[in-house]
Amino acid sequence: MQNFDVIVVGGGHAGIEAAYAAAKMGSKTALISLDLDKIGLMPCNPSIGGVGKGHIVFEISALGGLMPKLCTQTYLQARMLNTSKGPAVQGLRLQIDKEAYRKLSRKMLELVPNLTLIQGKIEQLLINNNKVFGVRLNGQEVYAKSVVLTTGTFLNGLIHVGHKNHTAGRMGEQAVTNLSGEIVFAGLQMGRLKTGTPPRLLRESLDFTKMEKQENPEINYLYEFYPVKIEQKLPCYITYTNELTHGLIKENMHHSPILMGNIKGKPPRYCPSIEDKIKRFPDKNGHHVFVEPEDASYVEIYPAGLSTSMPLEIQEIFIRSIKGFENAVITKPGYAVEYDFVYPDQLKHSLETKAVESLFLAGQINGTTGYEEAAGQGIMAGINAHLKQFGQEFVLSRQESYIGVMIDDLVTLGVDEPYRMFTSRAERRILLRQDNVFYRLSYKAYKLGLIDQRLFNDIKKEHDQVISCVNKLKSNRTNAQLLQMFDLFELNKVKIKQVVEDFCQEILSDKAIEAIYSEIKYYDYLKREEIEVQKYQKYSSLAIPCELNLVGMPGLSKELQEKLKQHKPNNIAQAMLISGITPAAISLLIFKINELKKERIKD
């Protein structure tokens, strides 16, 4: 018989962060995986970050998570996306050596005190009086005070390639076929989602002279606080589908499993298969294909943008119609996988289930897609699984983090398709930038014991420098003069850094310079945002009484009445998240709630 404080089921990106956080905070933790050699595996594109997603990784870093550390040691290429736009919506994206990442994940976890790695398959959740107290594993009971499920695509996973399908969690890996029944029996409702991946191509069979080589804007840091020397180790390229490609796919659409009705799971809207793209955008003559390495061996290529579940022989035909792919050899076919998930509106903001005490869920089981979204949920679930023993919880609001936005979206609105993070989901994205992430979250991480004293001191010192420099600059120049000076920022970062350091009499990091730039560029917006945050905080706890009749309310459209009836928001903050809700509707709700309060007082 084994006893733990926290059991984490699943060794993907959510499971890694959950186990790492819980163990660092002092919980005796077990990470259970079907195959310990597959911990940290990247079955889809081996890249981490991007716009919105990269913000999550920075927040994981500020909270002391493992993903950023793994990225620093295993990246092949580093790019900052959206550099033509403001710093609030730029996103760091790294192409990763997936083999190095996988091996390093297990190696680093094995060095963590309080953490035990166990290989095995969960047969049963042990639940008594609606509280989980362990799992049955390999015929034996393993006990814990909290259990975190991070099952990815393994719950009743079904892989499709053309007309053929077979049970699997990922290509070549067994599915978990009994756990969904356990979850439903525990009182949770489940649904079905679908994701997919493109074929892998033999690098030697491709003609890169016919493709565009991706340029890499100069950057000075990755996801960790301390700067690193950045090398672009392997190139990435871009090619495009064309009218011939589209014609070939259209001719063979009847072989697509999703169109044949063989796939029941809802696919991701924002990462569709190539056949979905062609169906949805019939007038578009071409789509980007990002040609990226999978690992340092540079044997296989990942053609991002060509996710498909068409039969292999059809994949070969349309792939070879693309410029540079004329002689392409497919080493692994593209495929779709559908799997069970739990509707996330059955979770608390701590990611604990409402139906079963001490049972936490993180990652694709909650309806998300992407390594970054999974890892962001994982670290929060791990923290809260540890804190549950002490009657505490840790929640990030949507006003202070992208992780908070994501979790609030999931538990408040639920999902009907795989959820992906975008900067547009964050109402306060000007406040929630990459350049200020460590200043925003490090104190919380330090109080939780997730980062050490030295790192916290260095972050605090840099933040103090930023505040001091912004104040000095603003006290001596107008905002217009400062913005004129910072127009040079993108043209000559070295020169502007020297000017600011000379003026402020401070030696500043590149990240500090970017934070100063952002604080000045967004100064007026930031002031307005802070006022909006105060308003939000004022009304966030304003409850919507159950006796408030929303149906037929004068001034509220029938569409909004239906949405409010469907989502059943508990308070104004939740109502504000509902898609299509207008400021006028929110004002009307506040007025009606206050009116109802006055009537109660009279009575």
Give the pLDDT confidence score for residue 479 in this predicted structure. Answer: 66
Name the residue type at position 545: P
Which has the closest alpha carbon to 489: 536, 435, 446? 435
Instruction: Please give the order of strands across the beta sheet that includes 164-167.
Output: 164-167, 158-161, 335-342, 190-197
Give the pLDDT confidence score for residue 451 in this predicted structure. Answer: 97
**Fold designation for 541-602:** DNA polymerase; domain 1 (1.10.150)
Q: What is the mean pLDDT of residues 42-49?
A: 94
CA atoms within 13 A on the CB side of 238: 8
Neighbours of 600 (CB within 10 A): 10
Q: What is the mean pLDDT of residues 159-170?
A: 90
Give the pLDDT confidence score for residue 491 in this predicted structure. Answer: 54
Beta-bridge partners for 368: 419
Tell me the backbone φ, ψ of residue 388, rounded to 5 degrees: -55, -35
Give the pLDDT confidence score for residue 427 in this predicted structure. Answer: 84
Q: What is the mean pLDDT of residues 140-165?
A: 94
Q: Helices (H), strands (E): how many in the chain?
A: 20, 20
Task: Please give the Cα distance from 302 to 289 (Å, whole number).
Answer: 9
Q: Angle at CA 375, nearest 5°, toward 374 and 376?
A: 90
List CB contacts of 291: < 8 A, sequence separation 6 or more. 206, 208, 211, 236, 237, 238, 239, 301, 302, 303, 304, 324
**Tokens representing residue 507 in the block:** 């030696």
For residue 536, what is the enclosing H or E element? helix 523-540
Query: Is pLDDT above 90 for 83?
Result: no
Looking at 2.40.160.40, 2.70.98.50, 3.40.50.970, 2.40.30.260, the CATH number of the domain 200-335 comes to 2.40.30.260
**Tokens representing residue 583 in the block:** 């400021």
What's the pLDDT band for 74 if we cut at 50, 70, 90? very high
Dihedral angle sign, alpha carbons of residues 141, 142, 148, 150: negative
Task: Please give the Cα distance from 580 to 596 (Å, whole number).
Answer: 25
Name the residue type at position 191: G
> Range with the lowest mean pLDDT among 273-287, 304-318, 430-444?
273-287
Q: What is the mean pLDDT of residues 471-499?
A: 73
Are residues 97 and 75 in contact, defined by beta-carbon separation less than 8 angstroms?
yes
What's the pLDDT band for 603 if we cut at 50, 70, 90? low
Query: Is pLDDT above 90 for 62?
Result: yes
What's the pLDDT band for 502 if we cut at 50, 70, 90? confident
Give CA separation, 29 vs 118, 314, 359, 377, in Å: 10, 47, 14, 17
Give the pLDDT confidence score for residue 492 in this predicted structure. Answer: 66
Task: Please give the Cα distance from 115 to 117 (Å, whole number).
Answer: 7
Q: Encode pLDDT of 88-115 as tens digits.
A: 999 999 999 999 999 999 999 999 999 9
Q: Encode pLDDT of 200-217 as tens digits.
A: 999 999 999 999 999 877
Query: Is pLDDT above 90 for 501?
Result: no
Average pLDDT, the chain: 91
pTM higher than 0.75? yes
Write down the domain spans for the chain: 200-335, 452-526, 541-602
Give the pLDDT confidence score for residue 279 in this predicted structure. Answer: 87
Residue that is written with structure tokens 């934070």 in the block: 515
Query: Is pLDDT above 80 for 323?
Result: yes
Which has the closest alpha carbon to 5: 146, 148, 136? 146
Give the pLDDT confidence score for residue 134 in this predicted structure. Answer: 97
Query: Is pLDDT above 80 for 198?
Result: yes
Give the pLDDT confidence score for residue 26 in this predicted structure. Answer: 97
Which has the closest alpha carbon to 66: 7, 123, 22, 33? 22
What's the pLDDT band for 442 if we cut at 50, 70, 90? very high
Task: Please give the Cα distance from 15 to 596 (Å, whole number).
Answer: 46
What's the pLDDT band for 592 if we cut at 50, 70, 90? confident
Which has the closest alpha carbon to 552: 544, 562, 543? 562
What's the pLDDT band for 371 if we cut at 50, 70, 90? very high
Give the pLDDT confidence score for residue 27 in this predicted structure. Answer: 98
Q: Is 329 exposed, middle or buried (0-12, 13-18, 19+ CB in 10 A)?
A: middle
Beta-bridge partners for 149: 9, 361
Are residues 403 and 397 in contact, defined by beta-carbon separation less than 8 angstroms?
no
Q: Angle at CA 457, nearest 5°, toward 456 and 461?
A: 120
Task: Please give the Cα distance from 110 to 87 (Å, whole number).
Answer: 37
Q: Which range in 50-64, 280-294, 407-421 is most confidently predicted, on average pLDDT?
A: 50-64
Q: Encode pLDDT of 404-419 as tens digits.
A: 999 999 998 889 899 9
List CB contacts of 283: < 8 A, sequence separation 6 or more. none
Q: Is 205 exposed, middle or buried (0-12, 13-18, 19+ CB in 10 A)?
A: middle
Residue 102 CA to its chain's centroid (Å) = 19
Query: Is pLDDT above 90 for 20?
Result: yes
What's the pLDDT band for 138 if we cut at 50, 70, 90? confident
Query: Is pLDDT above 80 for 47?
Result: yes
Give the pLDDT confidence score for residue 217 in this predicted structure. Answer: 74
Beta-bridge partners for 360: 148, 352
Query: Is pLDDT above 80 for 154?
Result: yes
Give the pLDDT confidence score for residue 584 in this predicted structure. Answer: 72
What's the pLDDT band for 1 if we cut at 50, 70, 90? low
**Tokens representing residue 474 in the block:** 């603003």
